[in-house]
Amino acid sequence: MKNTAKSIVILGAMLCLFLLSGGERIAFAGETVTKPYVDMDGDGFDDNASDEDGDAIPDAADPDYVPAPAEDENMSGLINFGETLKEVGIVEDFSTNMQKFDRLDFHTRAMAQNRCGFDAGEEFGSEGIGIGGSSGGGCVGGVCR
Protein backbone atom coordinates (compact mmCIF):
# COMPACT_ATOMS: atom_id res chain seq x y z
CA MET A 1 0.00 0.00 0.00
CA LYS A 2 2.82 2.31 0.97
CA ASN A 3 4.66 1.49 -2.25
CA THR A 4 1.54 2.15 -4.31
CA ALA A 5 1.11 5.59 -2.73
CA LYS A 6 4.76 6.34 -3.34
CA SER A 7 4.44 5.33 -7.00
CA ILE A 8 1.36 7.52 -7.44
CA VAL A 9 3.17 10.52 -5.93
CA ILE A 10 6.19 9.99 -8.19
CA LEU A 11 4.00 9.53 -11.27
CA GLY A 12 1.97 12.60 -10.32
CA ALA A 13 5.13 14.68 -9.93
CA MET A 14 6.41 13.47 -13.28
CA LEU A 15 3.07 14.31 -14.92
CA CYS A 16 3.15 17.82 -13.44
CA LEU A 17 6.70 18.33 -14.72
CA PHE A 18 5.64 17.08 -18.16
CA LEU A 19 2.62 19.37 -18.33
CA LEU A 20 4.54 22.39 -17.09
CA SER A 21 7.57 21.90 -19.32
CA GLY A 22 8.03 23.92 -22.49
CA GLY A 23 5.87 26.82 -21.41
CA GLU A 24 8.22 29.37 -22.94
CA ARG A 25 8.33 29.77 -26.66
CA ILE A 26 11.74 30.27 -28.24
CA ALA A 27 12.03 33.66 -29.96
CA PHE A 28 14.47 34.38 -32.72
CA ALA A 29 16.45 37.61 -32.84
CA GLY A 30 14.20 40.41 -34.03
CA GLU A 31 11.01 38.39 -33.53
CA THR A 32 8.38 39.57 -31.15
CA VAL A 33 6.35 36.84 -29.52
CA THR A 34 2.84 38.11 -28.94
CA LYS A 35 0.59 35.12 -29.55
CA PRO A 36 0.26 32.29 -27.02
CA TYR A 37 0.44 28.57 -27.85
CA VAL A 38 -2.75 27.32 -29.47
CA ASP A 39 -3.41 23.98 -31.19
CA MET A 40 -6.81 23.89 -32.83
CA ASP A 41 -5.88 21.76 -35.84
CA GLY A 42 -4.87 18.92 -33.52
CA ASP A 43 -1.33 18.19 -34.69
CA GLY A 44 0.32 19.16 -31.39
CA PHE A 45 2.33 22.06 -32.80
CA ASP A 46 1.58 25.74 -32.22
CA ASP A 47 -0.78 27.03 -34.92
CA ASN A 48 0.60 30.54 -34.35
CA ALA A 49 4.26 29.56 -34.89
CA SER A 50 5.83 31.52 -37.72
CA ASP A 51 6.46 29.77 -41.05
CA GLU A 52 8.30 32.18 -43.32
CA ASP A 53 8.54 29.96 -46.43
CA GLY A 54 5.08 28.37 -46.15
CA ASP A 55 6.30 24.76 -46.17
CA ALA A 56 4.19 23.83 -43.10
CA ILE A 57 7.37 23.36 -41.05
CA PRO A 58 7.57 25.97 -38.25
CA ASP A 59 10.64 28.21 -38.53
CA ALA A 60 11.95 26.95 -35.19
CA ALA A 61 12.31 23.46 -36.75
CA ASP A 62 13.08 24.52 -40.32
CA PRO A 63 16.75 24.39 -41.37
CA ASP A 64 15.92 26.64 -44.35
CA TYR A 65 14.86 29.47 -42.09
CA VAL A 66 17.37 32.29 -41.70
CA PRO A 67 16.43 34.71 -38.90
CA ALA A 68 16.37 38.38 -39.91
CA PRO A 69 19.34 40.23 -38.42
CA ALA A 70 18.54 42.39 -35.42
CA GLU A 71 18.51 46.12 -36.11
CA ASP A 72 21.68 47.84 -34.96
CA GLU A 73 20.54 51.03 -33.30
CA ASN A 74 24.07 52.40 -33.30
CA MET A 75 24.55 51.96 -37.02
CA SER A 76 24.30 55.68 -37.78
CA GLY A 77 23.51 58.92 -36.09
CA LEU A 78 21.23 60.07 -38.91
CA ILE A 79 17.45 60.22 -39.00
CA ASN A 80 15.69 56.85 -39.00
CA PHE A 81 13.22 57.36 -41.83
CA GLY A 82 11.73 53.90 -41.36
CA GLU A 83 10.78 54.67 -37.80
CA THR A 84 9.16 57.94 -38.87
CA LEU A 85 7.15 56.24 -41.60
CA LYS A 86 5.85 53.64 -39.17
CA GLU A 87 4.04 56.35 -37.25
CA VAL A 88 2.40 58.19 -40.13
CA GLY A 89 2.30 55.53 -42.85
CA ILE A 90 -0.93 54.60 -44.56
CA VAL A 91 -2.31 51.35 -43.21
CA GLU A 92 -4.07 49.48 -45.98
CA ASP A 93 -4.48 45.78 -46.64
CA PHE A 94 -3.10 44.96 -50.09
CA SER A 95 -3.61 41.22 -49.65
CA THR A 96 -5.26 39.25 -52.43
CA ASN A 97 -8.69 37.71 -51.99
CA MET A 98 -7.01 34.35 -51.51
CA GLN A 99 -4.73 35.64 -48.75
CA LYS A 100 -7.64 37.34 -47.00
CA PHE A 101 -9.71 34.16 -47.21
CA ASP A 102 -6.79 32.09 -45.90
CA ARG A 103 -6.65 34.28 -42.80
CA LEU A 104 -10.40 33.85 -42.20
CA ASP A 105 -10.06 30.12 -42.82
CA PHE A 106 -7.28 29.95 -40.21
CA HIS A 107 -9.53 31.76 -37.75
CA THR A 108 -12.26 29.11 -38.21
CA ARG A 109 -10.03 26.03 -38.37
CA ALA A 110 -11.60 24.37 -35.32
CA MET A 111 -15.11 25.01 -36.63
CA ALA A 112 -14.54 23.65 -40.12
CA GLN A 113 -14.45 20.03 -39.03
CA ASN A 114 -17.10 18.07 -37.21
CA ARG A 115 -15.15 15.48 -35.20
CA CYS A 116 -18.33 13.90 -33.86
CA GLY A 117 -20.05 12.74 -37.01
CA PHE A 118 -20.66 9.18 -38.15
CA ASP A 119 -17.55 9.43 -40.33
CA ALA A 120 -15.36 10.72 -37.50
CA GLY A 121 -12.07 8.87 -37.13
CA GLU A 122 -12.22 7.31 -40.59
CA GLU A 123 -9.39 9.51 -41.80
CA PHE A 124 -6.91 8.05 -39.30
CA GLY A 125 -3.89 7.03 -41.33
CA SER A 126 -5.96 7.48 -44.52
CA GLU A 127 -6.45 3.74 -44.84
CA GLY A 128 -8.44 4.09 -48.02
CA ILE A 129 -7.04 4.60 -51.46
CA GLY A 130 -5.78 8.12 -51.71
CA ILE A 131 -2.95 10.54 -51.78
CA GLY A 132 -1.84 9.74 -48.25
CA GLY A 133 -0.92 12.52 -45.91
CA SER A 134 -2.97 11.61 -42.91
CA SER A 135 -3.79 15.07 -41.69
CA GLY A 136 -2.66 17.44 -44.38
CA GLY A 137 0.00 19.98 -43.62
CA GLY A 138 -1.78 21.30 -40.57
CA CYS A 139 -2.09 24.96 -39.63
CA VAL A 140 1.04 26.98 -39.06
CA GLY A 141 2.03 30.57 -39.65
CA GLY A 142 -1.58 31.70 -39.99
CA VAL A 143 -2.45 29.38 -42.89
CA CYS A 144 -4.06 25.93 -42.99
CA ARG A 145 -3.16 23.37 -45.66
Partner 1 sequence: MKNIKLRPVLIIFALSFVFFVGSSADARIWEYVETEFQTSAGYTDNLLADSSAVEDSYGLGKVSAKFYPLPIAEILLNGEYTNYGNYVDLTNYSGGVGITVIPLKENSRFSIYINGNFNSRGYRENFESFNTRIYDGIASLGYSVSPIMQLRAGFSLKSTSYLHVLAVDNTKYEIFGGVNTSFLGKNSFDLQMGYAFVDLTYWEKQVWHPPDISGAQYVLPERTDEYPPTDGHLKLLQIWPRYSRPIGDKFAIVINYSYRKFDDLGEIAVAGVTTQSLSPWASIYEGESISFTLKSFFLPNFILESGVGYWKKNFLNSNENRNVPLLAKYIILARHDEQNKAYLTIKRPFPLKSGLFIEPTVTINHTYNNSTNAQYDYTNLSISGGITFRY
Which residues contribute to the site for partner 1 (CB under 8 A)?
A: 19-26, 35-40, 42-46, 53-58, 60-64, 96-98, 100-101, 103-108, 110-112, 114-122, 124-135, 137-138
Q: Of the two residues 84 and 134, which places its CB atom closer to partner 1 in the complex?
A: 134
CA distance 64 to 68: 13
CA distance 143 to 95: 14
CA distance 111 to 52: 25
Alpha-carbon torsion angle 57, 144, 42, 16, nearest 10: 50
CB of 93: closest distance to partner 1 in angstroms? 9
Q: Of the two residues 5 and 29, which places its CB atom closer to partner 1 in the complex?
A: 29
Q: Of the two residues 6 and 35, which places its CB atom closer to partner 1 in the complex?
A: 35
Decide if 116 contacts 77 (C-beta within 8 A): no
CB of 67: closest distance to partner 1 in angstroms? 14
